[in-house]
Amino acid sequence: MLSYEPDGTIAHRLDPRSKLAFQAAFALTALAHTEPRALVALTAVTALVLACARVSPWRALYAYRFAFPVLLAGPLVAALTLGAPWIDLERAVEPARASYRVLLILLVSAAYVRSTPVRDSRAAIQRTIPGKAGQLLGIGVALVFRFLPVLRADLRTIRAATAARLGDRRGPVDRAERLGTLGLARVVARAETLSLALQARCFSWNPTLPPLAFARRDVPVLAAAVVLSLSAFV
């Protein structure tokens, strides 16, 4: 799974607020435009973003492989018909474009995750959204970034332990039920441990966050975010 990795790339040196602005603008533009020329341009922008963060496209695709069944289900379901010819490929074109746009958004977010520390993300959110709402959202983002990889590791451990006990020979429903039950138990246990750890560390709603400051290198990124946002309405 993708996570923050220290590096000296251009993306690593950017202010997290400019990267968040670019992500939001890119998502807005990707959802607004469905024509093939726009998808080609957005693909080129995505490739440039991945290169700036030094993220391998194959690694990013592998990290988001869990989303592929959902992205593929839309075009497949749309292509099916209740009568002859049973499969209408023209009906799958628009859902396929929509799935591809979501995939591009995920790839751009992979560059952000790889180039931005969790504390910087929290600082950017809390300083952009004032009050308790920003604090709550910042804490939520920070916990998700830290908690999700642990839960995924727990699920892999459960699957490996089940396979070692020949549990992989059971039916798919039984395997899913066991994985869901044991996974939920791990989630509850992890949540209780996290709560205790936060209390032991005197958890603060308003800790001392890292300083953030825009620099000249952020200007092109912010300008690109403005251009992308305006292009969504053209």
**In this predicted structure, what is the pLDDT of residue 202?**
60
- Do 193 and 226 lie in one domain? The reply is no
- Do 68 and 134 lie in one domain? The reply is no
The Cα 77–Cα 80 span in angstroms is: 5
Does some domain include residue 40? Answer: yes
**In this predicted structure, what is the pLDDT of residue 206?**
61
Q: For each of the chain's 234 residues, which pLDDT tens digit applies? A: 577 888 889 999 999 999 989 999 999 998 888 888 889 999 999 999 999 999 998 988 888 888 888 888 888 887 777 767 777 777 778 888 888 898 999 999 889 988 988 888 878 887 777 776 666 666 666 667 667 777 777 778 888 888 887 777 777 777 777 778 887 887 778 777 777 776 666 665 566 677 888 889 999 999 999 998 888 877
- Do 147 and 36 lie in one domain? The reply is no
- Do 28 and 96 lie in one domain? The reply is yes
* Contacts of range 2-8, beta carbons closer than 8 Å, 24 or more positions apart: 2/55, 2/59, 2/60, 2/63, 2/110, 2/113, 2/114, 3/113, 3/114, 3/145, 3/149, 4/113, 4/114, 4/115, 4/116, 4/117, 4/118, 4/145, 5/114, 7/54, 7/115
Bridge partners, 80 (sequence order): 87
Does some domain include residue 42? Answer: yes
Q: Do 222 and 19 touch, CB atoms closer than 8 A?
A: no
Residue 229: CB atoms within 10 Å: 17
- Do 108 and 222 lie in one domain? The reply is yes
- Do 112 and 218 lie in one domain? The reply is yes
Lookup result for tokens 């992205």: 71
Calculate the alpha carbon distances from 97 to 67, 74, 78, 151, 233 in Å. 15, 10, 12, 32, 19
- Do 111 and 223 lie in one domain? The reply is yes
Domain containing residue 90:
10-117+212-231
The Cα 219–Cα 155 span in angstroms is: 42
- Do 132 and 109 lie in one domain? The reply is no
**In this predicted structure, what is the pLDDT of residue 128?**
75
- Do 64 and 111 lie in one domain? The reply is yes
- Do 14 and 98 lie in one domain? The reply is yes
Which of 133, 137, 74, 135 minimizes the C-alpha distance to 100?
74
